Amino acid sequence: MKVRSSEFGVRSSRRHYGCRLPAASPGFPVRSFFLSACSAGGLYPTTRCFRTPNPELQTPNSTRGTTLIELALVLAVSLLIASALASLLNVHCKMLSVTSTYRFLSQQAPQLGLLLTKTMGNADDFRIYGNLGDAVADRNHVLTGPVVRLWMREPGAAPRTAILSFSATGTAKGLCYYLAGSSGSFPASPSWKMPSGNLTNATFDDTTGILLVTLQGSNHDQITFAAEKK
Amino acid sequence: MGYRQLLNPGRNLVATAGRRTTRSQLGSGLFEVSLTLFLLITIAVYSMQTTLAAYQAQNWSVIQTMTDAQASIETAFAQRWVYGQIASSNRWPVYPLFVSSIVTAGQTPYGPVNVEVRRTCHANTDPVSGVQSYLLESYVTYTNGKRSYCKLSKVVRTQ
Protein backbone atom coordinates (compact mmCIF):
# COMPACT_ATOMS: atom_id res chain seq x y z
CA MET A 1 0.00 0.00 0.00
CA LYS A 2 1.51 3.29 -1.10
CA VAL A 3 1.32 6.24 1.17
CA ARG A 4 2.81 9.57 0.27
CA SER A 5 4.70 11.01 3.18
CA SER A 6 5.84 14.54 2.90
CA GLU A 7 8.07 14.24 5.94
CA PHE A 8 10.20 11.26 5.04
CA GLY A 9 9.16 10.50 1.53
CA VAL A 10 8.44 6.93 2.56
CA ARG A 11 5.95 5.36 0.16
CA SER A 12 5.62 1.89 1.49
CA SER A 13 6.16 0.22 4.74
CA ARG A 14 6.63 -3.06 2.90
CA ARG A 15 9.54 -1.85 0.92
CA HIS A 16 11.95 -3.03 3.57
CA TYR A 17 11.72 -6.37 1.99
CA GLY A 18 14.48 -8.24 3.62
CA CYS A 19 15.50 -5.84 6.20
CA ARG A 20 15.13 -7.18 9.65
CA LEU A 21 14.50 -3.85 11.14
CA PRO A 22 11.03 -2.84 12.13
CA ALA A 23 9.18 -0.31 10.02
CA ALA A 24 10.16 3.24 10.66
CA SER A 25 8.05 5.53 12.64
CA PRO A 26 8.13 9.32 12.38
CA GLY A 27 10.93 10.69 14.42
CA PHE A 28 12.79 7.44 14.50
CA PRO A 29 16.54 8.04 14.06
CA VAL A 30 16.77 5.99 10.91
CA ARG A 31 20.06 7.29 9.61
CA SER A 32 21.86 6.65 12.88
CA PHE A 33 21.42 2.88 12.81
CA PHE A 34 21.05 2.38 9.10
CA LEU A 35 24.53 1.12 8.29
CA SER A 36 24.87 -1.20 11.19
CA ALA A 37 21.45 -2.64 10.70
CA CYS A 38 21.90 -3.48 7.08
CA SER A 39 25.32 -4.76 7.50
CA ALA A 40 23.94 -6.98 10.20
CA GLY A 41 22.01 -9.16 7.79
CA GLY A 42 19.75 -7.33 5.37
CA LEU A 43 18.91 -9.40 2.30
CA TYR A 44 18.95 -6.43 0.00
CA PRO A 45 21.58 -3.86 -0.58
CA THR A 46 21.78 -1.05 1.88
CA THR A 47 20.13 1.40 -0.47
CA ARG A 48 16.87 -0.52 -0.28
CA CYS A 49 16.71 0.09 3.39
CA PHE A 50 17.72 3.67 3.35
CA ARG A 51 14.82 5.57 4.84
CA THR A 52 16.09 9.07 4.91
CA PRO A 53 14.39 11.48 2.46
CA ASN A 54 15.79 9.98 -0.73
CA PRO A 55 13.03 9.95 -3.36
CA GLU A 56 14.95 7.99 -5.92
CA LEU A 57 15.27 5.12 -3.55
CA GLN A 58 11.67 5.38 -2.41
CA THR A 59 10.07 5.82 -5.83
CA PRO A 60 9.20 2.65 -7.71
CA ASN A 61 8.95 2.57 -11.48
CA SER A 62 5.17 2.84 -11.50
CA THR A 63 5.32 6.17 -9.69
CA ARG A 64 7.67 7.77 -12.18
CA GLY A 65 4.84 7.95 -14.72
CA THR A 66 3.00 10.37 -12.51
CA THR A 67 5.65 12.95 -13.19
CA LEU A 68 5.04 12.60 -16.89
CA ILE A 69 1.32 12.97 -16.43
CA GLU A 70 1.83 16.01 -14.29
CA LEU A 71 4.12 17.53 -16.86
CA ALA A 72 1.69 16.79 -19.65
CA LEU A 73 -1.16 18.26 -17.66
CA VAL A 74 0.80 21.37 -16.86
CA LEU A 75 1.78 21.81 -20.48
CA ALA A 76 -1.74 21.17 -21.72
CA VAL A 77 -3.32 23.60 -19.29
CA SER A 78 -0.60 26.13 -20.03
CA LEU A 79 -1.17 25.87 -23.76
CA LEU A 80 -4.92 26.03 -23.36
CA ILE A 81 -4.89 29.11 -21.19
CA ALA A 82 -2.10 30.73 -23.17
CA SER A 83 -4.16 30.41 -26.33
CA ALA A 84 -7.11 31.94 -24.53
CA LEU A 85 -4.92 34.77 -23.33
CA ALA A 86 -3.56 35.29 -26.83
CA SER A 87 -7.05 35.58 -28.26
CA LEU A 88 -8.03 37.97 -25.48
CA LEU A 89 -4.95 40.05 -26.17
CA ASN A 90 -5.78 40.10 -29.85
CA VAL A 91 -9.31 41.34 -29.22
CA HIS A 92 -7.96 43.84 -26.72
CA CYS A 93 -5.52 45.24 -29.28
CA LYS A 94 -8.29 45.50 -31.85
CA MET A 95 -10.44 47.41 -29.40
CA LEU A 96 -7.58 49.75 -28.63
CA SER A 97 -7.07 50.32 -32.32
CA VAL A 98 -10.74 51.13 -32.82
CA THR A 99 -10.68 53.42 -29.82
CA SER A 100 -7.67 55.31 -31.09
CA THR A 101 -9.30 55.86 -34.49
CA TYR A 102 -12.18 57.63 -32.77
CA ARG A 103 -9.90 59.97 -30.84
CA PHE A 104 -10.49 62.92 -33.15
CA LEU A 105 -14.27 62.68 -33.10
CA SER A 106 -14.59 61.93 -29.41
CA GLN A 107 -11.94 64.20 -27.89
CA GLN A 108 -10.71 66.85 -30.32
CA ALA A 109 -13.70 67.67 -32.52
CA PRO A 110 -15.99 68.69 -29.64
CA GLN A 111 -13.45 71.21 -28.34
CA LEU A 112 -12.75 72.57 -31.80
CA GLY A 113 -16.45 72.77 -32.57
CA LEU A 114 -17.15 74.68 -29.39
CA LEU A 115 -14.35 77.16 -30.11
CA LEU A 116 -15.38 77.60 -33.72
CA THR A 117 -19.08 78.01 -33.09
CA LYS A 118 -18.44 80.49 -30.28
CA THR A 119 -15.99 82.45 -32.40
CA MET A 120 -18.07 82.43 -35.56
CA GLY A 121 -21.27 83.06 -33.66
CA ASN A 122 -19.92 86.37 -32.42
CA ALA A 123 -19.49 87.63 -35.97
CA ASP A 124 -22.04 89.88 -37.56
CA ASP A 125 -20.73 89.25 -41.06
CA PHE A 126 -18.26 86.95 -42.73
CA ARG A 127 -16.57 86.17 -46.01
CA ILE A 128 -14.69 83.12 -47.17
CA TYR A 129 -11.39 83.12 -49.05
CA GLY A 130 -9.09 80.66 -50.71
CA ASN A 131 -5.99 81.68 -48.79
CA LEU A 132 -4.78 83.87 -45.99
CA GLY A 133 -3.38 86.58 -48.28
CA ASP A 134 -6.72 87.11 -49.95
CA ALA A 135 -8.42 87.30 -46.58
CA VAL A 136 -6.00 89.93 -45.32
CA ALA A 137 -6.42 91.95 -48.52
CA ASP A 138 -10.17 91.25 -48.64
CA ARG A 139 -10.21 90.13 -52.24
CA ASN A 140 -11.31 87.07 -54.26
CA HIS A 141 -13.83 85.86 -51.75
CA VAL A 142 -15.45 82.53 -52.52
CA LEU A 143 -18.24 80.36 -51.14
CA THR A 144 -16.03 77.52 -49.96
CA GLY A 145 -12.49 77.78 -48.67
CA PRO A 146 -10.10 77.26 -45.76
CA VAL A 147 -10.10 80.88 -44.57
CA VAL A 148 -12.93 83.00 -43.24
CA ARG A 149 -12.86 86.63 -42.29
CA LEU A 150 -15.22 87.77 -39.57
CA TRP A 151 -16.61 91.23 -38.90
CA MET A 152 -17.71 91.99 -35.37
CA ARG A 153 -19.61 95.13 -34.53
CA GLU A 154 -17.95 97.42 -32.02
CA PRO A 155 -19.31 100.34 -30.03
CA GLY A 156 -17.40 102.64 -32.32
CA ALA A 157 -17.98 103.24 -35.97
CA ALA A 158 -15.51 100.72 -37.35
CA PRO A 159 -16.08 97.01 -36.81
CA ARG A 160 -13.32 94.79 -35.64
CA THR A 161 -12.17 92.04 -37.93
CA ALA A 162 -10.59 88.67 -37.37
CA ILE A 163 -9.47 85.82 -39.59
CA LEU A 164 -9.85 82.11 -39.01
CA SER A 165 -7.44 80.21 -41.20
CA PHE A 166 -6.54 76.58 -41.65
CA SER A 167 -3.18 75.55 -43.01
CA ALA A 168 -1.87 72.02 -43.29
CA THR A 169 1.78 73.05 -43.37
CA GLY A 170 4.10 75.78 -42.20
CA THR A 171 4.44 77.55 -38.92
CA ALA A 172 0.73 78.37 -38.87
CA LYS A 173 -0.25 74.72 -39.20
CA GLY A 174 -3.73 73.99 -37.94
CA LEU A 175 -6.52 76.41 -37.18
CA CYS A 176 -5.20 79.87 -36.39
CA TYR A 177 -6.94 83.02 -35.29
CA TYR A 178 -5.68 86.43 -36.42
CA LEU A 179 -7.19 89.41 -34.67
CA ALA A 180 -6.75 92.77 -36.34
CA GLY A 181 -5.46 95.65 -34.27
CA SER A 182 -7.13 98.98 -33.79
CA SER A 183 -5.53 100.15 -37.02
CA GLY A 184 -7.13 97.29 -38.93
CA SER A 185 -3.86 95.54 -39.77
CA PHE A 186 -3.40 91.83 -39.07
CA PRO A 187 -0.40 90.42 -37.23
CA ALA A 188 2.10 88.30 -39.12
CA SER A 189 1.82 85.44 -36.66
CA PRO A 190 -1.45 84.06 -35.28
CA SER A 191 -2.93 85.69 -32.22
CA TRP A 192 -3.66 82.20 -30.96
CA LYS A 193 -3.90 78.72 -32.33
CA MET A 194 -6.66 76.25 -31.78
CA PRO A 195 -5.73 72.78 -30.57
CA SER A 196 -5.84 70.97 -33.86
CA GLY A 197 -4.66 67.46 -32.91
CA ASN A 198 -5.50 65.04 -35.70
CA LEU A 199 -7.23 67.69 -37.79
CA THR A 200 -6.20 67.34 -41.42
CA ASN A 201 -8.52 69.80 -43.11
CA ALA A 202 -11.05 72.49 -42.29
CA THR A 203 -13.40 73.94 -44.87
CA PHE A 204 -15.69 76.91 -44.41
CA ASP A 205 -18.83 76.83 -46.50
CA ASP A 206 -21.51 79.37 -47.29
CA THR A 207 -23.35 77.68 -50.13
CA THR A 208 -26.44 77.04 -48.00
CA GLY A 209 -26.73 80.56 -46.66
CA ILE A 210 -25.27 79.85 -43.24
CA LEU A 211 -21.64 79.58 -42.25
CA LEU A 212 -20.66 75.95 -41.90
CA VAL A 213 -17.26 74.55 -41.08
CA THR A 214 -16.39 70.96 -41.86
CA LEU A 215 -13.56 69.38 -39.91
CA GLN A 216 -11.81 66.32 -41.24
CA GLY A 217 -9.71 63.97 -39.16
CA SER A 218 -6.85 61.73 -40.05
CA ASN A 219 -9.03 58.60 -40.31
CA HIS A 220 -11.46 59.83 -42.97
CA ASP A 221 -13.77 61.06 -40.26
CA GLN A 222 -15.50 64.40 -40.45
CA ILE A 223 -18.05 66.52 -38.69
CA THR A 224 -19.77 69.77 -39.60
CA PHE A 225 -20.56 72.63 -37.24
CA ALA A 226 -22.64 75.73 -37.82
CA ALA A 227 -22.37 79.21 -36.42
CA GLU A 228 -25.38 80.07 -34.33
CA LYS A 229 -26.28 83.67 -33.68
CA LYS A 230 -26.08 84.67 -30.07
CA MET B 1 17.33 1.61 -10.38
CA GLY B 2 20.40 0.45 -12.20
CA TYR B 3 23.16 -1.62 -10.77
CA ARG B 4 25.63 1.23 -11.09
CA GLN B 5 23.60 3.23 -8.64
CA LEU B 6 23.49 0.29 -6.32
CA LEU B 7 27.18 -0.05 -6.47
CA ASN B 8 27.79 3.64 -6.00
CA PRO B 9 25.42 4.92 -3.34
CA GLY B 10 27.25 8.23 -2.90
CA ARG B 11 26.71 9.16 -6.53
CA ASN B 12 23.14 8.06 -6.22
CA LEU B 13 22.48 10.43 -3.36
CA VAL B 14 23.79 13.37 -5.31
CA ALA B 15 21.80 12.49 -8.39
CA THR B 16 18.53 11.93 -6.61
CA ALA B 17 18.66 15.19 -4.72
CA GLY B 18 18.01 17.08 -7.93
CA ARG B 19 15.27 14.71 -8.97
CA ARG B 20 13.47 15.22 -5.72
CA THR B 21 13.41 18.94 -6.30
CA THR B 22 12.13 18.57 -9.85
CA ARG B 23 9.43 16.13 -8.91
CA SER B 24 8.20 18.25 -6.04
CA GLN B 25 8.08 21.29 -8.28
CA LEU B 26 6.13 19.43 -10.89
CA GLY B 27 3.81 18.10 -8.26
CA SER B 28 2.72 21.58 -7.37
CA GLY B 29 3.29 22.99 -10.84
CA LEU B 30 -0.17 22.17 -12.08
CA PHE B 31 -1.74 24.02 -9.23
CA GLU B 32 0.62 26.98 -9.46
CA VAL B 33 0.34 27.38 -13.20
CA SER B 34 -3.41 27.02 -13.11
CA LEU B 35 -3.72 29.57 -10.33
CA THR B 36 -1.39 32.03 -12.00
CA LEU B 37 -3.03 31.80 -15.37
CA PHE B 38 -6.46 31.94 -13.82
CA LEU B 39 -5.45 35.22 -12.23
CA LEU B 40 -4.09 36.39 -15.56
CA ILE B 41 -7.34 35.53 -17.29
CA THR B 42 -9.31 37.30 -14.60
CA ILE B 43 -7.24 40.42 -15.09
CA ALA B 44 -7.59 40.13 -18.86
CA VAL B 45 -11.35 39.78 -18.63
CA TYR B 46 -11.65 42.82 -16.38
CA SER B 47 -9.37 44.75 -18.71
CA MET B 48 -11.55 43.69 -21.60
CA GLN B 49 -14.67 44.86 -19.85
CA THR B 50 -13.01 48.19 -19.10
CA THR B 51 -12.01 48.59 -22.72
CA LEU B 52 -15.52 47.74 -23.88
CA ALA B 53 -17.02 50.24 -21.47
CA ALA B 54 -14.60 52.91 -22.68
CA TYR B 55 -15.43 52.07 -26.29
CA GLN B 56 -19.15 52.34 -25.67
CA ALA B 57 -18.72 55.63 -23.82
CA GLN B 58 -16.57 56.93 -26.64
CA ASN B 59 -19.12 55.90 -29.25
CA TRP B 60 -21.78 57.61 -27.20
CA SER B 61 -19.67 60.76 -27.05
CA VAL B 62 -19.17 60.75 -30.81
CA ILE B 63 -22.89 60.39 -31.46
CA GLN B 64 -23.65 63.15 -28.97
CA THR B 65 -21.20 65.47 -30.70
CA MET B 66 -22.65 64.74 -34.11
CA THR B 67 -26.26 65.17 -33.09
CA ASP B 68 -25.35 68.37 -31.26
CA ALA B 69 -23.68 69.64 -34.42
CA GLN B 70 -26.70 68.73 -36.52
CA ALA B 71 -29.01 70.45 -34.04
CA SER B 72 -26.83 73.56 -34.18
CA ILE B 73 -27.09 73.51 -37.98
CA GLU B 74 -30.87 73.35 -37.69
CA THR B 75 -30.78 76.24 -35.25
CA ALA B 76 -28.59 78.28 -37.58
CA PHE B 77 -30.98 77.67 -40.47
CA ALA B 78 -33.96 78.63 -38.35
CA GLN B 79 -32.26 81.82 -37.23
CA ARG B 80 -31.22 82.95 -40.68
CA TRP B 81 -34.15 81.79 -42.77
CA VAL B 82 -35.86 84.70 -44.45
CA TYR B 83 -38.85 85.45 -42.32
CA GLY B 84 -41.23 86.03 -45.19
CA GLN B 85 -40.40 82.63 -46.67
CA ILE B 86 -40.87 80.55 -43.54
CA ALA B 87 -44.43 79.63 -44.35
CA SER B 88 -44.03 79.36 -48.09
CA SER B 89 -40.86 77.30 -48.08
CA ASN B 90 -42.66 74.44 -46.35
CA ARG B 91 -39.45 73.67 -44.50
CA TRP B 92 -41.36 73.92 -41.23
CA PRO B 93 -45.00 72.92 -41.83
CA VAL B 94 -47.47 74.09 -39.26
CA TYR B 95 -48.11 71.49 -36.55
CA PRO B 96 -49.48 68.78 -36.67
CA LEU B 97 -47.91 68.53 -40.07
CA PHE B 98 -44.20 67.89 -40.25
CA VAL B 99 -41.55 66.95 -42.75
CA SER B 100 -39.00 64.25 -42.21
CA SER B 101 -35.66 63.74 -43.90
CA ILE B 102 -32.55 61.64 -43.42
CA VAL B 103 -29.35 63.66 -43.29
CA THR B 104 -25.72 62.73 -42.72
CA ALA B 105 -24.58 64.27 -39.46
CA GLY B 106 -20.98 63.22 -39.84
CA GLN B 107 -18.65 60.48 -40.82
CA THR B 108 -16.78 58.07 -38.62
CA PRO B 109 -13.75 56.07 -39.76
CA TYR B 110 -16.15 53.21 -40.48
CA GLY B 111 -18.87 55.05 -42.33
CA PRO B 112 -21.37 57.88 -42.26
CA VAL B 113 -23.73 58.59 -39.39
CA ASN B 114 -27.24 59.23 -40.56
CA VAL B 115 -29.87 60.89 -38.44
CA GLU B 116 -33.50 61.69 -39.00
CA VAL B 117 -34.63 65.31 -38.86
CA ARG B 118 -38.27 66.19 -38.37
CA ARG B 119 -39.32 69.81 -38.68
CA THR B 120 -42.52 71.53 -37.70
CA CYS B 121 -43.59 74.91 -36.40
CA HIS B 122 -46.26 76.55 -34.31
CA ALA B 123 -47.68 79.78 -35.72
CA ASN B 124 -49.15 82.42 -33.45
CA THR B 125 -50.64 85.83 -34.01
CA ASP B 126 -50.78 88.26 -31.13
CA PRO B 127 -54.41 89.30 -30.70
CA VAL B 128 -53.52 92.80 -29.56
CA SER B 129 -50.75 93.89 -31.88
CA GLY B 130 -51.41 91.41 -34.68
CA VAL B 131 -47.74 90.50 -34.80
CA GLN B 132 -47.17 87.03 -36.18
CA SER B 133 -44.53 84.75 -34.75
CA TYR B 134 -43.31 81.23 -35.43
CA LEU B 135 -41.86 78.67 -33.13
CA LEU B 136 -39.61 76.62 -35.40
CA GLU B 137 -38.82 73.15 -34.12
CA SER B 138 -36.39 70.58 -35.45
CA TYR B 139 -36.11 67.14 -33.91
CA VAL B 140 -32.84 65.36 -34.58
CA THR B 141 -33.29 61.64 -33.94
CA TYR B 142 -30.55 59.06 -33.94
CA THR B 143 -31.54 55.41 -33.89
CA ASN B 144 -29.13 52.78 -32.64
CA GLY B 145 -30.78 49.39 -32.77
CA LYS B 146 -33.92 49.55 -30.69
CA ARG B 147 -32.92 52.78 -28.99
CA SER B 148 -33.66 56.23 -30.30
CA TYR B 149 -32.18 59.48 -29.04
CA CYS B 150 -33.71 62.82 -29.85
CA LYS B 151 -32.46 66.38 -29.64
CA LEU B 152 -34.60 69.42 -30.13
CA SER B 153 -33.77 72.77 -31.69
CA LYS B 154 -36.24 75.55 -30.98
CA VAL B 155 -36.12 79.04 -32.47
CA VAL B 156 -38.73 81.77 -32.12
CA ARG B 157 -39.02 84.12 -35.06
CA THR B 158 -41.12 87.21 -34.72
CA GLN B 159 -42.33 89.52 -37.41
What pLDDT, in 10s, does the model give residues A65-123? Answer: 567 887 888 788 888 878 877 887 888 788 888 888 888 998 889 989 888 988 888 88
Strand order in the sheet with B111-125: A144-145, A201-205, A212-216, A222-226, B99-108, B111-125, B132-144, B147-158
Whether residue A70 and residue B29 make contact (CB cut-off 8 A), yes or no, is yes
Of A82 and A31, the structure prediction assigns the larger pLDDT to: A82
Asked if residue B83 has pLDDT above 70, the reply is yes
Domain boundaries, chain B: 3-158
Q: Rounded distance, CA B36 to CA A31, Å?
A: 39
- pLDDT band (50, 70, 90) for residue A50: very low
* Amino acid B29: pLDDT: 67
Query: How far off is chain A from B108, nearest CA to CA, in Å?
Result: 5
Enter the pTM of the model: 0.68
For residue B75, the chain A residues in CB contact (below 8 A) are 226, 228
Residues 23-42 of B with CB under 8 A from A: 23, 26-27, 29-30, 33-34, 37-38, 40-41
Query: Residue A149: CB partners within 8 Å, gap ≥ 6?
Result: A126, A127, A128, A129, A135, A138, A161, A162, A163, A164
Three-state secondary-structure class, residue A151: strand
The long-range contacts involving B29-32, CB below 8 angstroms and separated by at least 24 positions, are: B29/A70, B29/A71, B29/A74, B30/A70, B30/A73, B30/A74, B30/A77
- The pLDDT value recorded for residue A13 is 41
Does A208 sit within 8 Å of B77, measured CB to CB? Answer: yes
Give mean pLDDT, residues A17-35. Answer: 44
State the complex-level ipTM. Answer: 0.71
For residues B73-100, give the mean pLDDT. 92
Residue pLDDT, tens place only, B54-68: 777 888 889 989 999
Chain B: residue whose CA lies nearest to A111: B65
Q: Measure B18 CA to nearest chain A CA, in Å.
A: 10
Q: Once rounded to an integer, what is the mean pLDDT over residues B27-56? A: 78
Average pLDDT for chain A: 75
Proportion of chain A above pLDDT 90, given as a percent:
26
Instruction: Give the model's pLDDT for residue A33.
Output: 39
